[in-house]
């Protein structure tokens, strides 16, 4: 069974630009969560989607948004990029979300210059 796939693996953007990251969950998983990982803050929860609906949201500004498609694939968008958005963005999927174990992808390393 294929794991969680995140694309691209690396991305370099300039301040003010926008970026879209993609995540394909494990087949059959309906929940997709996104986390931002930085050395100083660790893993911070961005949002969770379940059956195309945002079910949980973290404390990030509105520049961070996401969506989930009917095939459970998810995209995350960051508009008006800031230097502080440089981070590893991790996507994780599970059957139902909540307290069940998450299966993570390899992440997308975003660098904002």
Partner 1 sequence: AQTVTQSQPEMSVQEAETVTLSCTYDTSESDYYLFWYKQPPSRQMILVIRQEAYKQQNATENRFSVNFQKAAKSFSLKISDSQLGDAAMYFCAYGPGDDKIIFGKGTRLHILP
Binding site for partner 1 (CB under 8 A): 33, 35, 41-43, 45, 48, 56, 58, 88, 90, 92, 98-107, 109
Minimum CB–partner distance for residue 88 and partner 1 (Å): 7
- Residue 34: name the closest of 113, 104, 112, 110 by CA: 104
Neighbours of 57 (CB within 10 A): 12
DSSP character at residue 108:
E
Minimum CB–partner distance for residue 42 and partner 1 (Å): 4
Identify which of residues 58 and 65 has a Cβ nearer to partner 1 in the complex.
Answer: 58
Identify which of residues 9 and 15 has a Cβ nearer to partner 1 in the complex.
Answer: 9
Identify which of residues 13 and 109 has a Cβ nearer to partner 1 in the complex.
Answer: 109
Minimum CB–partner distance for residue 98 and partner 1 (Å): 5
Q: Are 113 and 13 in contact, with CB atoms under 8 Å apart?
A: yes
What dihedral do alpha carbons 99, 63, 71, 4 form, nearest 10°?
-60
């Amino acid at each position: 069974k294929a794991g969680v796939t995140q694309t691209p693996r690396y991305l370099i953007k300039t301040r003010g630009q926008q970026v879209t990251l993609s995540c394909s969950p494990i087949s059959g998983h309906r929940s997709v969560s996104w986390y931002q990982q930085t050395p100083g803050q660790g893993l911070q929860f961005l949002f969770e989607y379940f059956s195309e609906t945002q079910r949980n949201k973290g404390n990030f500004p509105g520049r961070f948004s996401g969506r989930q498609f009917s095939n459970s694939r998810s995209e995350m968008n960051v508009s008006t990029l800031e230097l502080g958005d440089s981070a590893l963005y991790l996507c994780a999927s599970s059957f139902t979300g909540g307290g069940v174990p998450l299966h993570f992808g390899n992440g997308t390393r975003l660098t904002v210059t």
